[in-house]
Structure 1
Amino acid sequence: MKTDFNEKQIQILLIAETLFAENGFERTSIRTIAKAAEINVAMVSYYFGSKEKLLEALILYRTSDLKIQIENLSHEELDPIEKIDKLIELYINRIRCNKGIYRILHFEFSSEEEEDKLKILNQLRDRNLKSLETIIHEGQQKGIFRKDIIIPLISPTILGTFFHFSMNKPYFKKLLALETDEAFENYIQTKLKTHIQQTIKALLIYES
């Protein structure tokens, strides 16, 4: 599927993203998307073919540059620990800036039946996993990272921590005395990011 979209296609994708995130994928129809975009249903079908194909296009639109950034990171002249820190920063910044699509992916499509509909999602996960494996294998070869790491559990550990914190916003705002939404977002960028980086490195690095 192509990743270069015209202005009208991007408009449709952004409206669909908002509706999917607010109402759920199954409860959002092509007709609803067309009405919100002030176009006819035939145009949505012409551009994307189906609701599933529209979501695939949305995934590509929101993640294609992240894929390139992660692949480039694995080949940068940095030590493996620095790469892990940068990888976590990339993940968190991307999710913060694109909460809609990540909410859709991680909460709408968690069953085997739904994932089977979206092979592109698993292809994306597989590519990101390979880049992560490249970084960790480099660290293992240099004697920095442990040999018994379960690599496929690293990304869920990063994302799970972030989503638990983010989805329980009122609780953590009160617990951590974060009086405004701005303070909450700043905490994610600083303290939560650092906590996740320290957690992952604690899993990866040999105990001294």
Structure 2
Amino acid sequence: MKTDFNEKQIQILGVAEKLFAEKGFDGTSIRDIAKEAKINIAMVSYYFGSKEQLLEAIILNRVTDIKLQLDILTLEDLDPLQKIQKLIELYIDKINSNRCIYKIMHFEFSSSQRVINLQAFTDLKKGNLKSIESIIQDGQEKGIFRKDIVIPLLTTTILGTYFHFHLNRPFYENLLDLKTEEEYNTYIKTTLTMHIQQTIKALLTYES
């Protein structure tokens, strides 16, 4: 599936993402999307085909953006640890800014009834992993990182920590006295991100 979309397609993707997150995939119709986007139903079908293909396009659009930024990061003039710390900031910022699509992915991908071609999505995720592997291997060659790192589990640790925090939002808002959306997002961008960075650094580096 293509990942370069024109302005009208991007508008449709934004509307569909919002409605899928609010009403669920099954609870949203192509008619709902067309009405919200103020376009003809036929235009949605023309651009994306089925509703399943529209969901695939939303996911690929988001994941491709992360892949491009990871590719740029690997080329930056930073040491391996700085790149990993910046990678964590990138992941947390992107996920927290695009909660809608990750909410969709969490619920829809767990459905055994959902028929979605995930090969392109899987290929992009593997590409992201390759970018991380190149940073880790560079750090290992320079003696900065441990040799026994299970690289595929690093993203699990990063994302798992974020999602545990977010899925238990009411608990942490009460515990940490986060009264507004701004305070919640600021905490994620600062304290939670720093905690994840410290955790990953501890996993990667030798004990002093």
Mark yes or no: TM-score above 0.5: yes
User: Alpha-carbon deviation of 1:26?
Assistant: 3.3
Segments of structure 1 that go 5 or more residues without pairing to the other structure are none
For 1:107, give the aligned amino acid. F
Q: Distance in 2 between matches of 1:78 and 1:67?
A: 18
- 1:142-172 Cα distance to aligned partner (Å, 9 max, x none): 1111111111111111111111111211110
For 1:117, give the aligned amino acid. N
Q: Which residue of 2 aligns with 1:25?
A: 25
| Contact persistence 2:81–2:201 (CA under 8 A) | yes
For 1:13, give the aligned amino acid. L
Q: Which residue of 2 aligns with 1:85?
A: 85
For 1:84, give the aligned amino acid. I
For 2:157, give the aligned amino acid. T
Q: Equivalent residue of 2:143, what SS?
A: coil
Q: Distance in 1 between matches of 2:113 and 2:204?
A: 33
User: Alpha-carbon deviation of 1:119?
Assistant: 1.9
Q: Which residue of 1 aligns with 2:153?
A: 153
| Contact persistence 2:56–2:116 (CA under 8 A) | no
Within 5 A, what are the aligned runs for 1:120-139? 120-139=120-139
Q: Equivalent residue of 2:75, what SS?
A: coil
Q: Distance in 2 between matches of 1:121 and 1:104?
A: 14
- 1:14-49 Cα distance to aligned partner (Å, 9 max, x none): 111011112222332323322322333221110111
| Contact persistence 2:20–2:28 (CA under 8 A) | yes
| Contact persistence 2:53–2:116 (CA under 8 A) | no
Percent identical among aligned pairs is 63
Segments of structure 2 that go 5 or more residues without pairing to the other structure are none
For 2:189, give the aligned amino acid. Q
Bigger drift between 4-13 and 66-75 goes to 4-13
Q: Which residue of 2 aligns with 1:184?
A: 184
Q: Distance in 1 between matches of 2:66 and 2:101?
A: 13
- 1:106-133 Cα distance to aligned partner (Å, 9 max, x none): 3321467758632222122111111011
Q: Which residue of 1 aligns with 2:66?
A: 66
Bigger drift between 23-32 and 172-181 goes to 23-32
Structure 2 residue 202 is the aligned partner of structure 1 residue 202: yes
User: Alpha-carbon deviation of 1:190?
Assistant: 0.5
Q: Distance in 1 between matches of 2:120 and 2:147?
A: 30
Q: Equivalent residue of 2:185, what SS?
A: helix
Q: Which residue of 2 aligns with 1:143?
A: 143
Q: Distance in 1 between matches of 2:15 and 2:172?
A: 30
TM, length-normalised to structure 1: 0.91
Q: 1:171 to 1:66 in 2, by over 3 A?
A: same
User: Alpha-carbon deviation of 1:139?
Assistant: 0.9
Q: 1:18 to 1:71 in 2, by over 3 A?
A: same
For 1:125, give the aligned amino acid. K
Q: Distance in 2 between matches of 1:79 and 1:127?
A: 21
What is the RMSD computed on CA atoms of the aligned residues? Answer: 1.9
For 2:21, give the aligned amino acid. A
